[in-house]
Amino acid sequence: MLDTSAAVAVLRGLGDAPGKFGRSESVLLAAPVLAELLYGADRSARPEENEELVLDLARTMEFIACDEAVCRRYAALKASLARAGRPIPDNDLWVAACCLAAGATLVTRDAHFQHVPDLVCEEW
């Protein structure tokens, strides 16, 4: 599953992200990541063009919605991280919850995901 930072790396052709993405059999896209990408496109200098790039990328991935299982994971994670004094941004909590519910590895460039219990991360 790509988080927003990894998806942006794929879209911008940064590092080895596009190559690894192209070699992946199945890549998941969480609803909060799509929302953040569309928000970024909307705020860009070329919103229509960038929105189309985001949607083209999204069409190549399996979409993961925030269902009850994800919501339960989110609540448990937020409470656990708050107790540990290691909160992370809410959208990233949603991404982590989606990833854990799907049993996937999270591809990210954000170090704070390392504080999420049981979340397996990979950097592209």
Residue 124: pLDDT over 90: no
Name all domains of the chain by residue range, CATH numbers in brackets: 4-122 (3.40.50.1010)
pTM of the model: 0.92
Conformation bin of residue 104: beta by default, left when phi > 0, alpha when psi is -120 to 50: beta
User: Looking at residue 66, what is its pLDDT?
Assistant: 93
Q: Would you state the pLDDT for residue 96?
A: 98
| C-alpha span between 32 and 37 (Å, rounded) | 9
Furthest-apart CA atoms within the chain: distance in Å: 43
Angle of the 47-58 helix axis to the 4-12 helix axis, nearest 10: 110
Q: Are 102 and 1 in contact (CB under 8 A)?
A: yes
pLDDT at 2: 97
59 SS3 class: coil
pLDDT in tens, 66-110: 999 999 999 999 999 999 999 999 999 999 999 999 999 999 999
Of the pLDDT bands very low, low, confident and very high (cuts 50, 70, 90), residue 56 is: very high
* pLDDT mean across residues, the chain: 96
Write down the number of H helices and E strands in the chain: 6, 4
